[in-house]
Amino acid sequence: MIKQKSTFDEKSTWRKFFKLSLVAIGLLICLNAFLVIHSVKEQELVGQFIDTTGKQRMLSQRIVKSALEFEQAESVSQKEFYFKELEFSLNLLKTTHEQLVADVFFDQFVDTNSKQLLDSVAPYYEEILRITGQIINEKKSLLFEERNNLSLNGDYYLRYMDALVNQLTVYSKTYNRDHIQFEIGFTILMLSLIVGAYFLVYKPAYRRTLEAINETKNLFDIAPTAIIIVDLKDFTIQEINDAGEVLLQMNYEEALRMNLQDFISEETKHQIQHFSEKEHEHILKGIEANVRDLNRHEIVCLISVGKFNFWGKEHLLIGLADITKQKETEEAFEKLATIDEMTGLYNRRTGLVLLSKEFEKAKRHIYDVTICFIDMDGLKHVNDTFGHSEGDWYIRTVTTVIREGIRQGDIGMRFGGDEMVLGLANCAELEAGQIMNRIQTVLDLIIEKEQKPYEMGISYGLSEYKKDVPLSVEAFINYADERMYAVKTLKKSTRQ
């Protein structure tokens, strides 16, 4: 068989493409996750920076307002309240301003214009600190010029803070827009990669898989041997090929409703079940068993069983080779080798072997066996006078009566031309005599009916096997032969 190396190389290439596409998609997903996390953190920093800037605006307004209220307060308690408010706001303004300047976000992400704005607001911030510190330190009213200066610096500080917030808002919107565009591009790239993987990897692989399945199914269907696939657990039929439908005389739908045990014997089922339970055995060959088709006809099959995975589940693949004709031929040859064609009795060689086995059984289980030696009367005269065809009829007639007269399990063989030997199992000599009397009676009826122009009859002698007599089968046959000869001699002397 020629190996198609290019096919395997192609499969390996598709596997590489598939793995690379999965790796690329995985890396892109990780990159996207990293960028999303980074974007969220950056938006949080922008939000914190804008929040801090908003606090600065609010505190600067509160300081200017508290300073003016302190100047206009009429009672000592009011002045004390606004003094504390002014002191608290000033300290909070210093803290938030330090946070604003020292913010990591500001150093890493805010552009040059925002830094310039923050640098530009510094003089107004310092002036607010100076004038407010003067009020706190001296606890007295400001001069008119100082009050105006505080209000003016507060306004400038507020404007620069508004500009900074607006600039940060624009930055945030720009960043969001860029991030959205990046996500759109990234999504398009991901979709392109997925679509490319689908059309370049998955779809061809899926098509080739279907082609391989169809090719396997075609091979399965055109196989000349019957094949069925059954579930490993409950033996229900999952698939059957065309040869299987023909062998079992059923269509596909009928087969899928059946179980393996519906057409095999219980013994064969147990044999297959025992094999299926063995984890390390995957093939079972050479089971010769009778199989029943849908019409309950018996078929002799040679069965082979293999385990395999089918649609992700363990199954058994069972091949059924019809050997009915071969078995019939074997039996015919066996019959030719063991049965005498004319009489239907065992031939001499087979008969002696069976008699020896019967004697051994009788010795072990202690029962009687009687040998009957039979000789046909006047066969030579019939052959010489009326021809061998008439002699053959005579032989067939007598042996038919003998075959039908002995019991099932008894052994009947043609010992010679006109001599037959019977082995009557589990039968004493007295009972054997009764059997032979019945055979003689039937034969007499045939003689009377046929009215042949010659005398017909048989002579026989009996020899009972004794366990305590150490003689061979041949010795017992000879003894029966001698007794038969004595009967035959007596018949001849009587006729004379």
Whether residue 259 contacts residue 236, with contact meaning beta carbons closer than 8 Å, is answered with yes
Cα 369 to Cα 232, 338, 345, 350, 431: the distances in Å are 51, 22, 18, 18, 11
For residue 132, tell me if it sits in a domain: yes
Q: Does residue 44 sit within a domain?
A: yes
Strands 369-376 and 411-414: unpaired
Domain contains 449: yes
Report yes or no: 443 and 401 within 8 Å, Cβ to Cβ: yes
Rounded CA gap, 181 and 340, in Å?
101
Looking at the DSSP bridge assignments, the partners of residue 300 are 290
CA–centroid distance for 79 within its chain: 91
In terms of residue numbers, what domain contains 251?
Answer: 225-328
Give the CATH number, domain containing residue 434.
3.30.70.270
Looking at 275, 296, 328, the residue that finishes a domain is 328
In this structure, how many other beta carbons lie within 10 angstroms of the beta carbon of residue 141?
15
Q: Quick one: 305 and 397 in the same domain?
A: no
Q: Are residues 34 and 168 in the same domain?
A: yes
Same domain, 257 and 183: no
* Burial class of residue 30 in the structure, from the number of CB atoms within 10 Å of its CB (0-12 exposed, 13-18 middle, 19+ buried): exposed
Neighbours of 113 (CB within 10 A): 13
Rounded CA-CA distance 402/443 in Å is 9
Residues 353 and 468 in one domain: yes
Query: Which stretches in the chain have pLDDT values below 50?
Result: 1-10, 104-105, 109
Whether 268 is covered by a domain: the verdict is yes
In a domain, 474, yes or no: yes
Distance between CA 253 and CA 268 in Å, rounded? Answer: 24
Q: What CATH number does the domain containing 38 carry? A: 1.20.120.1730
- Look at residue 400 in the predicted model and tell me its pLDDT: 95
Judgement on whether residues 278 and 370 belong to the same structural domain of the protein: no
Tell me the per-residue pLDDT of 416-451, one tens digit each, with 9 for 90 and over: 889 999 999 999 999 999 999 999 999 999 999 999
Query: Are the CB atoms for 352 and 345 separated by under 8 Å?
Result: no
Note whether 254 and 153 are same-domain residues: no
Task: With respect to residue 217, please indicate whether it lies within any of the assigned structural domains.
Answer: no
**376 and 449 share one domain:** yes
Residues 87 and 181 in one domain: yes
End residue of a domain, out of 277, 299, 328:
328
Write out the chain in H/E/C secondary structure: CCCCHHHHHHHHHHHHHHHHHHHHHHHHHHHHHHHHHHHHHHHHHHHHHHHHHHHHHHHHHHHHHHHHHHHHCCCHHHHHHHHHHHHHHHHHHHHHHHHHHHCHHHHHCCCHHHHHHHHHCHHHHHHHHHHHHHHHHHCCCCCHHHHHHHHHHHHHHHHHHHHHHHHHHHHHHHHHHHHHHHHHHHHHHHHHHHHHHHHHHHHHHHHHHHHHHHHHHHHHHHCCCEEEEEECCCCEEEEECHHHHHHHCCCHHHHHCCEHHHCECHHHHHHHHHHHCCCCCCEEEEEEEEEECCCCCEEEEEEEEEEEEECCEEEEEEEEEECHHHHHHHHHHHHHHHECCCCCCECHHHHHHHHHHHHHHHHHHCCCEEEEEEEECCHHHHHHHHCHHHHHHHHHHHHHHHHHHCCCCCEEEECCCCEEEEEEECCCHHHHHHHHHHHHHHHHHHHHHHCCCCCCCEEEEEEECCCCCCCCHHHHHHHHHHHHHHHHHHHHHHHC
What is the tally of structural domains in the chain? 3
Q: 316 and 231 share a domain? A: yes
Residues 324, 344 within the same domain: no
Task: Answer yes or no: do 311 and 361 share one domain.
Answer: no
Whether the predicted model's global pTM rises above the 0.85 cut: no
The predicted structure's pLDDT at residue 286 = 80
Instruction: Identify the pLDDT of residue 90.
Output: 79
Residue 218 within any structural domain of the chain: no
CA-to-CA dists, residue 314 to 208, 235, 282, 360, angstroms? 23, 11, 11, 50
In a domain, 205, yes or no: no
Last residue within a domain, chosen from 328, 350, 372: 328
pLDDT value for 163: 77
- Model pLDDT, residue 114: 62
pLDDT, position 282 = 79
The amino acid present at 475, given as its one-letter code, is A
| CATH number (domain holding residue 281) | 3.30.450.20
Dist CA 300 CA 295 (whole Å):
15
Q: What is the pLDDT of residue 5?
A: 37
Question: Do both 159 and 31 map to the same domain?
Answer: yes
